[in-house]
């Protein structure tokens, strides 16, 4: 039987995505062994996170200012809005360096098995932004949830003069035709490019 404070912290860590009981146990033992310095560092970082990070009132990404740096950047094309499910998707697209529009973080995707929109979903906020947009790019995972969300939102946004587009899906670079599953290979064929 573990001491109650140890058990409590293990439980707290297992609430984090991707952390199972074994990893949580390792975290706790690490903190116990490294003593106050490490705990204080963690405490300070968490405190700073809560103090300084907020949700951008325009794109709903997490940032240290609202509106965020991307939304206020005059060099970015505000008529092109890339819609993503989660804040980490913005980071991934920004790393490519090949997108100069702005974002909208939806905070979730629609689950076709549940007959309701996720409560936290920033859909009305997206609809409110679209009158000034010329293109909406959907950048969701190629899953049933991603597909359902694209269908649902594009019905809502459809109007003349607004381009609705989505990321091409297909073979990852370094992937193999022989071992690709049929959905991936099918989308790669559909999204084939002219040489």
- Burial pattern 61-78, b for ≥16 Cβ within 10 A else e, equals bbbeebebebbeeeebeb
Closest approach of Cβ 128 to Zn ion, in Å?
14
- What are the φ and ψ backbone dihedral angles of 136, each rounded to 5 degrees? -115, 120
> Which one, 28 or 56, has the nearer CB to Zn ion?
56
Closest approach of Cβ 120 to Zn ion, in Å?
17
Q: Is the CB of residue 6 less than 8 Å from the CB of residue 28?
A: yes
Site string for Zn ion, 46-65 (x = CB under 5 A): ----------x-xx------
**Helix and strand tally (H, E) in the chain?**
8, 6
Closest approach of Cβ 70 to Zn ion, in Å?
5
Residue range at the interface with Zn ion (CB under 5 A); choices 31-39, 68-76, 136-144, 162-170: 68-76
Number of residues that bind Zn ion (CB under 5 A): 5
- What are the φ and ψ backbone dihedral angles of 146, each rounded to 5 degrees? -60, -45
> Which one, 40 or 79, has the nearer CB to Zn ion?
79
Please report whether residue 71 would count as binding Zn ion according to CB under 5 A: yes
Burial class (CB in 10 A: 0-12, 13-18, 19+), 48: exposed
Question: Which chain residues interact with Zn ion by CB under 5 A?
Answer: 56, 58-59, 68, 71
């Amino acid at each position: 039987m573990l001491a109650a404070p140890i058990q409590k912290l293990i439980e707290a860590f297992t609430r984090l995505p991707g952390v199972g009981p074994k990893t949580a146990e390792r975290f706790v033992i690490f903190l116990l062994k490294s003593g106050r310095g490490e705990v204080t560092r963690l405490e300070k970082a968490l405190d700073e996170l809560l103090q300084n990070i907020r949700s951008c009132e325009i794109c709903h990404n997490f940032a240290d200012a609202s509106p965020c740096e991307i939304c206020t950047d005059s060099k970015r094309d505000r008529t092109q809005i890339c819609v993503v499910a989660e804040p980490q998707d913005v980071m991934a697209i920004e790393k490519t360096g090949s997108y100069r529009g702005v974002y909208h973080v939806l905070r979730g995707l629609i689950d076709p098995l549940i007959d309701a929109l996720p409560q936290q979903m920033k859909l009305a906020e997206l609809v409110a932004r679209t009158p000034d947009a010329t293109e909406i790019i959907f950048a969701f995972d190629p899953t049933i949830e991603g597909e359902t969300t694209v269908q649902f939102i594009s019905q809502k946004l459809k109007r003349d003069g607004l381009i609705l587009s989505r990321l091409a899906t297909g073979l990852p670079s370094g992937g193999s035709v022989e071992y690709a599953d049929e959905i991936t290979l099918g989308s790669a064929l559909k999204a084939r490019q002219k040489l």
